[in-house]
Chain A
Amino acid sequence: MLAAPYRFEGFGLGLRRPHYGDFLEGAVAVDFLEVISENFMVDGGRPLAVLDTVRKHYPVALHGVSMSIGSAVGLDRNYLDRLRTLEQRIDPLFVSDHLCWTGVDGHQSHDLLPLPYTEEALVIVCRNIGQAQEALGRAMLFENPSSYVQFPESALSEWEFLAEMTGRTGCYLLLDVNNVFVSARNHGFDPEEFLAGIPVNRVRQIHLAGHTPGDILIDTHDREVCDQVWALYRKAVARFGPVATMIERDDAIPPLAELLAELQTARDIAEVTAGMAA
């Protein structure tokens, strides 16, 4: 029996280098921090020293980018061992990664590459999730990625794939609202249909981020959350209830006060939405 992820309803930020000093002091008003797992899957040194100190002040979620859960050739055992070591060290709120693959034949793209939503891919993804969850001894969360291509081979919608995946493996979801918006715009589906297709009790965390506009929207995490994504967040909160929510900023990182102001917007929306539901 796998340990289920915590039920946690707080509001957090990503731990990024420009803000290390603030979070090391532990005085920033966030409920949790999320870190990129791979930055801390190292032998020693300052990264782990920073994480250990931060962990004394805040709950921490581990968010990975390199598990390659959709890899047709299986998972990297060394990667899982490293992640397990980190997981045991900090007892995270969640361990998450993305529904994607990152490389093939020993060649890494270091990107979140899209999958065709087929039964074959579903079987492979579920096999890999089973291996990862067994290695970690806990249920994981997987995030819906932004994507820029659709495969003609796909027989399922993304939300059908995600729903089936959670049902077969017992994993949970990290719902990235910005990614839903970006992929919906890029591929012409209705983002509300996406939300409606996701099982209510499987979403344990929500990401909010900014994207770069254009003919194809690009998930750049380098600007503030746009109004349409806030609007979709309202609908997500109404459907999935209060779950851990964070602002994800990876580039053009602004002063902490700006991110905290965005996080307050998320808190306000969640509070108002919960009040309307009550």
Chain B
Amino acid sequence: MSLPQCQRAFMAQVLEEDSPLPSGWNAGMSAGLAIYRNAYRARLLGALGETFPRTQQWVGEENFARAAAHHLIQHPPGQWSLDHAGKGFPGTLAQVFASDPEVSELAALEWDMHMAFVATDFVALDRDGFALATAEFGEEDWAGLRLMPVPGLVIRPLRSAAIAIWSALAAGEGAPTDMLLERPTEVLVWRDGLTPVFRSAAPEEAACLRTLMCGGSFGAVCEFLAERRRDASSAAAEAGTMLQRWLEDGLLLSAAKG
């Protein structure tokens, strides 16, 4: 048997206990193969548990383990980093807990925080930095102002009480009573210094940030708000308020002329 054949046969044994042993491999190997098989399952279950501790706590260890096993069959890990084994797990949870959307949304929030933890380093733009970057702006430059969000910023729509569940689990408090939100909201996930953070955002603010992430100008943000307000001056004031908050939160990387 060639090495590629040997490795495929071995991997089949790791994945599936009932996979037939290649000819020449004796039954005495079975006990050893079982060690690798068990280690594979335990290691990946452990990795998912480390990445999604709140989800595990929310659904319980048994349900979590069943969903994790389902995920490993549907989406066997393909990347060298064990930290990425949870990629797509929120999607699996959306199937497994189809009538409980808070489960997959809580997991998606955990995944976004997990990724923000190791996102590219950056120095966020603060008010002084913004003032310096725009000090030479003329009147005509403001509409073309380009605001670059920080690397790793994720904006995710929510229809469940995932944020409230997160907070309740962190505080050891009781779960919220309503699992579905009356009105959809969005969550922003990014890194503040070395710490991943999140906050909720109204769909309108999220849309403005998405405009910036897609390369749109601050002028485009103002236009978007004006269309919804039918009032250019209040839209500009609201855009200014958002900009201040983004600077305070550390959501922006740079400001430059368009």
Contacts and interface: CB of A to CB of B under 8 A. Distances in A.
B138 interface: no
Chain B contact-residue range equals 35 or more
B36 A111 contact: yes
B60 interface: no
A99 to B, nearest CB: 14
A42 interface: yes
A131 B191 CA distance: 36
Contacts, number: 119
Contacts of B32: 147-149, 186, 216
A108 B78 contact: yes
B172 interface: no
Given A44-B120, A46-B194, A107 B78 contact: yes
Contacts of B40: 109-111
A108 B80 contact: yes
B81 interface: yes
B61 interface: no
A41 B180 CA distance: 38
B119 interface: yes
Main SS at interface, chain A: loop
A72 B7 contact: yes
Contacts of A116: 3, 6
Contacts of B10: 113
Contact of B11 (A48, A109, A215, A216): A109
Given A111-B36, A120-B3, A152-B25, A66 B118 contact: no
A72 B121 contact: no
Contact of B76 (A48, A66, A101, A107): A107
A104 interface: yes
B58 interface: no
Nearest to A46: B194
Given A45-B119, A49-B194, A216-B32, A104 B4 contact: yes
Interface in A46-70: 46-49, 66, 68
Interface of A: 38, 41-49, 66, 68, 71-73, 76, 79, 101-111, 113, 115-116, 118, 120-121, 124, 147-153, 186, 215-216, 218
